[in-house]
Every structure is written in C-alpha cells, then in structure tokens.
Chains A and B, each alone.
Chain A
Amino acid sequence: MSKRFGGVQAVRELDLEVGEGEIFGLLGPNGSGKTTVFNLVAGVLAPDAGEIRFGGVLLNGLPPHRRAALGVARTFQLVRSLGRLSVADNVAVARLYGATPARSVDAARQEASQLLALVGLAGKAHLPAASLNLAERRRLEVARALATRPRLLLLDEPLAGLNADEVQAEVGLFRRLREEGLTLVLVEHNVPAVRSLCDRVAFLHAGEKVAEGSPEQVLSHPRVVEVYLGGAAG
C-alpha cells in the first residue's frame, strides 16, 4: 500500500503481513510512516494505492466504525480520552459498540469494571477521565480498545512516557492478551521492550520497509544500524 501527503510519500509500496496471534513490532525513526500505517489500517486515512485485508476481508473504503465492528481496535500515540466521562464510562461506551457489543448499558458498565481491573484502574473508575495521569490514560486506552472485543489491537507507542515498572506491567499485560488469542501490532521506540515482546518486527525508513524478521535479525541488519546510529556517526 502507498500513501502520499502533498509532496511527501509517507508510505511507499509497503507490503506487510501479520499472522493471527502474533505480536508484531513496527520500528523506524520519527516520520518513517509507522503511524500512517496504523491510520490506513484503522480507516482514518485511505490508501492511494494497494489493498488492506483483515482475515480475508477487504477493508478499503470501510469507515473506522465498520472496521471496529470487524475486530480492529487501536490506541492513539497522543492519548485521547472522553475527558468529562468517568473512567468507567470511557470503557462502557466501547463495550456497547465494537465487534460484539454488550446487551445493555448496565451489562456494559459491569464488564467495563472487569476490564478496568485487568489494566489496574479499578480504583479510579468513578473519576473523570481527564483527571488521570499519562500512564493511567495509556492503560485506559488499552482497556477501551479491549472493550470493543477486537481480534487485532494496534498500539501506537503504548510505552512512551512510562517508567520502568509501568513498562514491565504493560509488557506483561500484552503477553497475557496474546495468550488469549489477540493479535497485537505495536509501534514502539523502546528497543529492549520490543526485543523481549515481539515475535517479528519490520523496520520502516522514509515510508519503505528496510528489514523484516525476528527482532534480533532486524536490529542487527546493516541498513537498520546505519539509519538508527549512522545518522549520528556520519
């Protein structure tokens, strides 16, 4: 798939395939097109060329809410919450829509509190979402995305701005989600976390795929080393 913004080719003839139950990492310097890939898959942007398929279904042309109903969920790099709603209702509203919606508002609120317990926000359920700190809001985004009952979860820099303990907690959560059968794709700059978490990674540079494979293979690929470190050295 390809996407151009004015004169900038954000994604150039990129070909990616993620298997069911995989944890897949997208790496690359800022501006390499990682978030654009997410936006193309989630339906926020339409590709100029190419196809996006999800479990055999062609996603091209479907609005984001239809993709959510098919089981695609995402978090945002710059966290977004429904600020004046309670933490619980942020999750409950997602539980009422998405792939397999709850049957009633009450049922949705009940299931929302279970999801909040899963991400460690049970004690904050009744606070307005705007009162949470960054780490809490990132976890709220994950709970909200999970509430849509997705098959594919797109995580845009879920570890950015978190301290070491918080990163550990998130990595553990993502592993558990995979064990439950979820497929995860994450954009992340935290190399140690990517190394320990991802089955496969792809490295993007200027919208093109430079390398793809296991984290070890990709992170030792000469072009990757050059782009990550060579800029500073040269």
Chain B
Amino acid sequence: MNPSVAAAAAVALAAALPWVAGDAAVNWGLLVLLQVTVAQSWNLLGGYGGQVNLGHAAFFGIGALVTRGLWVQGTPVVGALVAGSAAAAVAGLVVGLPSLRLRGPYFAIGTLAMAEILRIVVGTTLPEVSALPSDLITGYRLVPRYYLALALAVLSTAVVWRVSCSRFGMGLVAIREDEWVAETVGVDTYRHKLAALLLSAALAGAAGGAFGYYHLSFYPQFVFSPVWTFDAVLMVFLGGIGTVWGPPVGATFFVLLREALALRLTELHVLVFGAVFVVVVLTLPGGLVDVARVLRAMRVRRPQPA
C-alpha cells in the first residue's frame, strides 16, 4: 500500500477511536500517540542527523513541568504548551551550543549529564507529588487530551517528513554519513546539528506538555526519568531509524505490546521485551517498516518448485 494512503487511513482510524471505543482504549491510544511524538523527535536528530541524544527525557520533563505549571495557574493550555515547548528548546540550546561544536561522543555525554542533573535537582527541590487541583479534576475530560496527542503525533511526523525531503534534511543525512564530507561540500554542520536539536527538543517538550496536561498526578522527577529517553531509542530502532514511518510503527508496536505483556506477565514482561527487541534488530536492521521489502526479497530468492 502507498505510504501516504496508509498514513491517511491510520490518522482517520485514530481520529475515530474515541467515537467507537471506551475510555480504556482511548487511554492506550493516547499513550501510543504521545510516544509517537517522543520517538519522532528523537528520530529527527538521531536518525537523520546521526547525533545520539541520551538526555531526551530532559526536554520531555521540562515541557511537562512548564506546561503543567502554567496551565494549573490559569494559562490556556495551548499557550502553556507553546511555552513548555519553547523552554525545552532553550534547554536544547544550552546543551547543544558547547557540545555540538565537537565531533565524537561529547554530545551524547553532555545530554546524558544534563538529563541526570535535572532529574536529581527536580527530585530534591520538588519532592511532593504533583496532583491537579480539585476544580481542574472536576472538569477533566480524556477526549480533548487524546486529540491533542493525535495533533502532536501528526505534527511531528509531518515535520520529519518535510525535513526528509528538504535541503536541510539532505544536509543532516550527509552529516550522519560523514561529517567531514558534509563540511567539505559546504554544509554548515554546526548550524544544521543545532537547528535539528532545537526542533527535536521543541517537539519532545510539546509531548511532555501534553503529558503534563493529561496525567492526574505524578512525581515531578518521573517526567525526567531516563525511561523516556530509552523508550524513544527502542521505538525508533524497532520501527526503523532514519525513516518517516518507523517511529509511528515502532511506538504502536512498543506501547501496545508492552501494555498487553505487562497485564499478563507483570515484571516478567521486561525480559520478553528485551528478547523481542534483540530479534527485531538482528533480523530486521531496517526496523519493522522494512518487513515488506525483506519479505519481497525472500520470495524472489526462494527457488521455484520443479
């Protein structure tokens, strides 16, 4: 099937979900859509630009806390979300300006350090659980939050698609393949990496903002947990790194399988999950979006019966 037809069908299906399914399914759908944005934002910088961000959780967490704080104080949610997204982008600038000048592991180390420092600082300065005030709980509706998550998933995928067929995207991919060659043919590698990081951080911050708007109560430290980073990495690799459709496929597979396994196997699901991840990466280096191509290749190779 044509990818754009498949995408339109998937969006239509997702948009129809609240009309045909109950709250539990809508809740699962929301988690999937939220993770599409988280994975897609990591993919933009990591999959296209080749820059390994090990502190993606920091952008998610900043977006979540800023958005939730402003919204609880009375800012309209869209304004609060934009502010949360912008705050995450500023954090991206702070970590990227020094570390992206250097080639090698400095960016990975810098982002990891930033996220862990933020997690610890938030954990000590905001130790109390963040619960919504009673007036906001009274007016709480799940469906608008679901549509917000859907809008962000579509937006982040559209951004990655747009980048993937642009000059900027070609420059990013050249950096991923060989930074010296990219620089030699005229790509301003520093600016390209920085721009991709800002976009990536803003999208992750928006996803965090949607989480802060959605969740009834959580410890502020939780949104800075490294789990947000490593889930993103897993989903991107499972679905197909450096592709437009890999992260949505990976996020759907990852969240639904994890929830289904967690219901039946509780803690044991982590083991099963690790095995699934290893099998997918070994047999499908291009991720799940590569399945169709690999199957076609196998059918061609299989000898015809005499």
**A binding-site residues for B, Cβ under 8 Å:** 42, 44, 63-65, 68-69, 73-74, 76, 80-85, 89, 92-94, 96-99, 101, 104-105, 108, 144-145, 147-148
B151-170 vs A: 1/0 string, CB under 8 Å?
Answer: 00000000000000111001
A65 engages B187 (CB within 8 Å): yes
**A96-B170, A105-B165, A105-B167 known; A85 vs B186 contact (CB < 8 Å):** no
B171 engages A93 (CB within 8 Å): yes
Select which of A80, A92, A97, A145 is within 8 A of B180 by beta carbon: A80
B170 engages A144 (CB within 8 Å): no
B101-142 vs A: 1/0 string, CB under 8 Å?
Answer: 000000000000000000000000000000000000000000
Tell yes or no: B173 within 8 A of A by CB. Answer: yes
CB neighbours (8 Å) of A85 from chain B are 173-174, 177
Measured in the bound complex, the distance between the Cα atoms of B186 and A73 in whole Å is: 9
B170 engages A147 (CB within 8 Å): no
Q: Please list 7 pairs of residues, one from A and one from B, whose beta carbons are closer than 8 Å in the complex, sorted by A's number.
A: A65-B183, A65-B189, A85-B173, A89-B173, A104-B167, A105-B166, A147-B185
Measured in the bound complex, the distance between the Cα atoms of B171 and A98 in whole Å is: 11
CB neighbours (8 Å) of B165 from chain A are 105
**A85-B177, A105-B166 known; A73 vs B184 contact (CB < 8 Å):** yes
CB neighbours (8 Å) of A144 from chain B are 181, 185
CB neighbours (8 Å) of A93 from chain B are 170-171, 173-174, 182, 185, 187
CB neighbours (8 Å) of A94 from chain B are 185-186
B167 engages A96 (CB within 8 Å): yes
Tell yes or no: B178 within 8 A of A by CB. Answer: yes
Measured in the bound complex, the distance between the Cα atoms of B173 and A94 in whole Å is: 12
CB neighbours (8 Å) of B177 from chain A are 81-85
Select which of B171, B181, B186, B189 is within 8 A of A80 by beta carbon: B181
**A82-B178, A85-B173 known; A97 vs B185 contact (CB < 8 Å):** yes
- CB of B203, distance to nearest CB on chain A (Å): 23
- CB of A35, distance to nearest CB on chain B (Å): 13
Tell yes or no: B290 within 8 A of A by CB. Answer: no
Measured in the bound complex, the distance between the Cα atoms of B184 and A93 in whole Å is: 11
Measured in the bound complex, the distance between the Cα atoms of B181 and A44 in whole Å is: 11
B185 engages A63 (CB within 8 Å): no
**B binding-site residues for A, Cβ under 8 Å:** 165-167, 170-171, 173-174, 177-178, 180-189
- CB of B304, distance to nearest CB on chain A (Å): 27
Which of A42, A65, A89: most chain B Cβ within 10 A? A65
Number of A-B pairs, beta carbon distance below 8 Å: 78
User: Considering only CB atoms, which chain B residue lies closest to A42 in the complex?
Assistant: B184
Measured in the bound complex, the distance between the Cα atoms of B167 and A38 in whole Å is: 28
User: Considering only CB atoms, which chain A residue lies closest to B188 in the complex?
Assistant: A65
CB neighbours (8 Å) of A44 from chain B are 180
- CB of B124, distance to nearest CB on chain A (Å): 42
Select which of B167, B178, B184, B189 is within 8 A of A74 by beta carbon: B184
Measured in the bound complex, the distance between the Cα atoms of B145 and A41 in whole Å is: 56
CB neighbours (8 Å) of B170 from chain A are 89, 92-93, 96, 105, 108
- CB of A198, distance to nearest CB on chain B (Å): 23
CB neighbours (8 Å) of B186 from chain A are 65, 68-69, 94, 97-99, 101, 148
Closest 5 CB pairs of A and B: A97-B186, A68-B186, A82-B177, A94-B185, A98-B186
Measured in the bound complex, the distance between the Cα atoms of B166 and A68 in whole Å is: 20
Other than A68-B183, A108-B167, give 14 A-B pairs with Cβ distance below 8 A. A64-B180, A65-B188, A68-B184, A68-B185, A73-B184, A81-B181, A82-B177, A82-B181, A93-B170, A93-B173, A93-B174, A97-B167, A97-B186, A147-B185
- CB of B242, distance to nearest CB on chain A (Å): 8
A64 engages B178 (CB within 8 Å): no
Measured in the bound complex, the distance between the Cα atoms of B181 and A98 in whole Å is: 12
CB neighbours (8 Å) of B182 from chain A are 82, 93
User: Considering only CB atoms, which chain A residue lies closest to B181 in the complex?
Assistant: A80
CB neighbours (8 Å) of A84 from chain B are 177
Measured in the bound complex, the distance between the Cα atoms of B178 and A99 in whole Å is: 20
- CB of A36, distance to nearest CB on chain B (Å): 15
User: Considering only CB atoms, which chain A residue lies closest to B166 in the complex?
Assistant: A105
Measured in the bound complex, the distance between the Cα atoms of B178 and A44 in whole Å is: 14
**A89-B170, A96-B171, A105-B170 known; A81 vs B178 contact (CB < 8 Å):** yes
B174 engages A82 (CB within 8 Å): yes
Measured in the bound complex, the distance between the Cα atoms of B169 and A104 in whole Å is: 12
User: Considering only CB atoms, which chain B residue lies closest to A91 in the complex?
Assistant: B185
- CB of A76, distance to nearest CB on chain B (Å): 8
Which of B166, B184, B189: most chain A Cβ within 10 A? B184
- CB of B104, distance to nearest CB on chain A (Å): 16
- CB of B50, distance to nearest CB on chain A (Å): 10
CB neighbours (8 Å) of A99 from chain B are 186
